[in-house]
Amino acid sequence: MLAENLSRNTKPPKSLMRPIGRAIADFDMIHDGERIMLGLSGGKDSLSLLHILHHLQSYAPVKFELAAMTVDPMIEGFHPEKLKPYLAELGIPYFFESHPIEKLAKEHMGKDSFCSFCSRLKRGIMYTT
């Protein structure tokens, strides 16, 4: 988990911000007044996106709300507890849910892959939050 290595002032590099800003505009991705809930695992991909969106909140011509959510699958080795104080320091609303996804997968997965089952379950949990 990378959250412990980042500071509140982590600013995404311009080499990322320019093409991302252009893509958001070209594909009309974020509209004024929208609320965005980011699925946050604590890995480099989701933390990078968190910082990009957080930075865009201050500089983008559209105004939007940003929140983050972690769904703890209750799998050994996943330790998201450092995210809560980190998001509080950033001032980003944070939601946390624990669900026994591994146990549910063993009971209900069928022919799906574990990753597919887990991602569908996590999305469903996020949609109800």
- Quick: pLDDT tens for 7-37: 556 789 999 999 999 999 999 999 999 999 9
Q: Report yes or no: 92 and 67 within 8 Å, Cβ to Cβ.
A: yes
Question: For residue 37, what are the β-bridge partners?
Answer: 67
Alpha carbon distances (Å) from 5 to 31, 49, 72, 86: 32, 16, 21, 10
All structural domains of the chain, each given as residue ranges with its CATH number in brackets, are 9-127 (3.40.50.620)
- Which is more confidently placed, 77 or 40? 40
| pLDDT score, position 120 | 76
- Predicted pLDDT at 112: 67
> What's the pLDDT score for residue 53?
96
Tell me which residue of 28, 29, 3, 30 sits closest to 94, measured CA to CA: 3
CA dihedral sign, ordered 113, 117, 123, 126? negative
Report which DSSP code applies to 72. E
pTM of the model: 0.79
- pLDDT (tens digit per residue) in 63-96: 999 999 998 877 788 888 889 999 999 999 999 9
For residue 84, the number of C-alpha atoms closer than 13 Å in the C-beta half-sphere is 8
For residue 5, what pLDDT band results from cuts at 50, 70 and 90?
low
